[in-house]
Amino acid sequence: MRKQRTLRKPIEATGIGLHTGKKVEIKLEPADTNYGVVFYRADKDIYIEAKSENVVDTTLATTLGKNGMVVKTVEHLLAALYGLHIDNILITVWGDEVPIMDGSSAPWVYLLKTAGIREQNAYKKEIIIKKPVKIKEDGKFAALLPSRNFEIHCSINFDNIFIGKQKISVEINESTFTKEISKARTFGFTKDIEYLQAHNLALGGSLDNAIVVDDYGIVNEDPLRYKDEFVRHKVLDAVGDLSIVGYDIKAKYLACKSGHDLNRKLVLKLFKDKEAYEIVGNPHREKIVGSFVWSALEEEK
């Protein structure tokens, strides 16, 4: 069982929202032990915790919401936080969407490491899967099985000659996430772009923040970062989506053609079955989100 971690110092960034196409400012700040991952909509003065009950939409991205306010496209940042074992952080956003950056978690990994990561004087709880939890619909499948580690076994099958069938198995830890998963970019198809933008989606999408695929290959001038970058991005999304359980995950995640919606339903099904999991670790300490104590910064002085 490991110690909780936070940032050493605040860090800021600016980018474009993938779906809104709007410029977004974001600030990442250290937080006290047991604070968790919390988004703060500075323009609306509302705090939204990255918890399963706050997932309000999974249309082409994972959206967190509370009292009618939302923060969209959180999964790539959440994946980076989980991959680097950063447990306590306040994320201030001036807008309703997290910047897409280059479509992967790599820029977030860079920013978080630039800010520095500090171990805290409290242990992180673990969620241990005790029996299989499975969900299947429309030819898609996802499951959580017992395991001593966090393993992901993922496969995709697209009706596109360039992508086709891809599969990967990886144990998720800081090293494997950073080297093997974090650089995988989101992707889309030229045939879908016009439809998405007509429905106010992917308005900020470009060759700078996504792999675009047509019938002949990728439209981007830059080559793929991994030969199987598409399935690796699905793993990246899964890490972000599953991180909202709020604990270190001890499970084997199996997925075939899964996505944000099925991942959300899998987490909800898990928590409905109290016999399917066990949470171990330090006693839970209640906190009030918003009454943020800057002890994390004070300790650093």
User: How far apart (Å, rounded) are the C-alpha atoms in residues 143 and 127?
Assistant: 15
User: How far apart (Å, rounded) are the C-alpha atoms in residues 301 and 291?
Assistant: 21
Based on the fold, state whether residues 135 and 275 are members of the same structural domain.
yes
Based on the fold, state whether residues 104 and 137 are members of the same structural domain.
no
Which class for 106: exposed (0-12), middle (13-18), buried (19 or more C-beta within 10 A)?
buried
The answer to whether the CB of 76 falls within 8 A of the CB of 236 is yes
User: pTM value?
Assistant: 0.91
Per DSSP, the residues of 187-198 read EEEHHHHHHHHH
Is 76 noted as a catalytic residue in this protein?
no
Instruction: Tell me what pLDDT residue 230 has.
Output: 98
CATH code where residue 71 lies = 3.30.230.20
Instruction: Tell me what pLDDT residue 47 has.
Output: 98
Tens of pLDDT along the chain (301 residues) come to: 899 999 999 999 999 988 788 999 999 999 999 999 999 999 999 999 999 999 999 998 999 999 999 999 999 999 999 999 999 999 999 999 999 999 999 999 999 999 999 999 999 999 999 999 999 999 999 999 999 999 999 999 999 889 999 999 999 999 999 999 999 999 989 888 777 777 777 778 788 999 999 988 999 999 999 999 999 999 999 999 999 999 999 999 999 999 999 999 999 999 999 999 999 985 443 343 443 333 443 444 3
Instruction: Tell me what pLDDT residue 275 has.
Output: 97
Based on the fold, state whether residues 153 and 262 are members of the same structural domain.
yes
Give the containing element (helix H, strand E) for 176.
Answer: helix 174-176
- Structural domain tally of the chain? 2
Domain closes at, from 66, 97, 125: 125
Instruction: Tell me what pLDDT residue 32 has.
Output: 98
Based on the fold, state whether residues 200 and 190 are members of the same structural domain.
yes
Based on the fold, state whether residues 116 and 219 are members of the same structural domain.
no
Instruction: Tell me what pLDDT residue 282 has.
Output: 56
Domain closes at, from 90, 106, 125: 125
CATH code where residue 162 lies = 3.30.1700.10
Place of tokens 């989101």: 186
Based on the fold, state whether residues 120 and 253 are members of the same structural domain.
no
Q: 225 by DSSP, 3-state: which?
A: coil
A 10 A CB-CB count for 283 gives 7
Instruction: Tell me what pLDDT residue 21 has.
Output: 86
The answer to whether the CB of 73 falls within 8 A of the CB of 61 is yes
User: How far apart (Å, rounded) are the C-alpha atoms in residues 6 and 284?
Assistant: 18
Based on the fold, state whether residues 134 and 250 are members of the same structural domain.
yes
Based on the fold, state whether residues 104 and 198 are members of the same structural domain.
no
Residue 293 domain flag = no
User: How far apart (Å, rounded) are the C-alpha atoms in residues 75 and 267?
Assistant: 15
Instruction: Tell me what pLDDT residue 116 has.
Output: 98
Based on the fold, state whether residues 89 and 27 are members of the same structural domain.
yes
Residue 141 domain flag = yes
Torsion of CA 6, 8, 12, 16, to 10 degrees: -40
Q: Give 46-60 as a 3 state SS string.
A: EEEECCHHHEEECCC
Place of tokens 């080297």: 179
Residue 296 domain flag = no
Place of tokens 């994972």: 62
Based on the fold, state whether residues 238 and 224 are members of the same structural domain.
yes
Domain closes at, from 125, 159, 194: 125
Catalytic choice (85, 199, 260, 284): 260
Residue 295 domain flag = no
Residue 220 domain flag = yes
Residue 286 domain flag = no
Based on the fold, state whether residues 41 and 134 are members of the same structural domain.
no
Instruction: Tell me what pLDDT residue 37 has.
Output: 98
Amino acid in the structure at residue 73 = T
Instruction: Tell me what pLDDT residue 19 has.
Output: 78
User: How far apart (Å, rounded) are the C-alpha atoms in residues 27 and 154?
Assistant: 32
Based on the fold, state whether residues 71 and 202 are members of the same structural domain.
no
Residue 75 domain flag = yes
Range(s) of the domain holding residue 212: 127-280
Residue 290 domain flag = no
